Structure 1
């Protein structure tokens, strides 16, 4: 509970014991804390006094009392924040030293292989997300730690929630998120709630049919792409640091972003036709649209043909592109 301000489990337990019953001797504290020795209590009490959380009272035997939390914990919190701020101020200077040192390294030093388990690779990726200051750009496509259509929306949401929390905090701090999703992603109904929540949080979403690689770019400093085995199962990630290769990956993203179709959450549309337009622009198949809207497949096909005639589109792809651009130009509904 109090780890964030630097208190370990022992110090927290003793401080809470003093809050529960003020003015206790060391012997009284030991009697209330099973497994504690007098030496252990003395060591922790000394630490708490030095931190300004506990004070000693006059008299013999020596008695201890907890200092009011609104004073003691507020002071420690401010000290902790100040220490973090000083570390943050050091980051630009340390990064300058880092990049100066890397000028003499070989090209292969800019590629880092992380072949840990899912938790290990996720932790490395989250570190990079937390380091972003300007923008995060991504191609979202398989491989995933889960199989398509294998999870219910609630299960998928729980799996993605830690990343979503970091993303929301980054967006609130001014980091821009642009993500191109492969059309296979929107064919999985379990992804729809996640896509909608991401869009509502401020993520800019576009759809492209057939992305070449799974990719995340963090500012202009690093990128990650997935490693998969022969069966398509993820086995790690490649981290690319500042280099000509990173510049090429950045250019690749911008090219696909310019040609991808903007996505609008279907359930934010006002009418059945608006929902149909949104689903088409997002790259959904007739079968998925029919299921989503509760229509027959033949009805969906007829309405798609009507839209093709109305917009003068010769192919379904042309229609989706025109509808996507129209949606991108419309004011966002609130």
Structure 2
């Protein structure tokens, strides 16, 4: 259950023994798990560091397990903080990469290169060309929150032409666009047309990648009006495509809303603790069928492939 949070199988087994049998000592846990006492003590050290166990108030020197719901929340919160910091570092690295290219740009050659496009008109012309030439996919970072009316009109036009030809469109915006009617309307239009739109708490600078072969990134991430760099060639495009894919996996599908209702939050909390649909349904005074249907809806909105993954993603988005 906790594997994706840094715990190995033995760590989890020790934690489960302490939850289910609080009176057991190190030697007894080792015997039950058919492992050594030293291995159990190493697991206890890790569990204590992760705040999944704590020293007993009644018996100093002994350790007791933290309530699973509380422990899971603490692990998820810690991972969420690490994720946000990692996103900040990625964004900073990407901005440095852009500035380096802006100072060393050259005309594209057969092997790829960098072309400088001065001003927004030149950028829009190149975007239109890329939309016409795209044959497989267009990947876009849309930072900056709510978008201008002109930018949204241009995006609809370019994306519409591309999707008419069967091109896949994937766009990531900031979570804040969910509160902006115009930008949210564009995002819903895109998904209605067969495209995909997700949001994240933070994003690298604006970027458009077409067919993994060409890309546009701003000359100055802090002022996109200055123009953009047109990149081509596998050496430059591979890391940008990888950056997009990593960010996509950490982002939340547009779905029907950015938050959970009280019943949905409670249901997801029970499931994340390892309880069954039937147990959660009894606690919430709903039918098991309703619990399963609600959980399926939550997983779909989060783009989660398992119930535990749904718990992780919901915690990262502060839905729990």
Query: TM-score per shorter chain, which class?
Result: 0.3 to 0.5
Q: Taking structure 1 as the reference length, what is the TM-score of the superposition?
A: 0.46
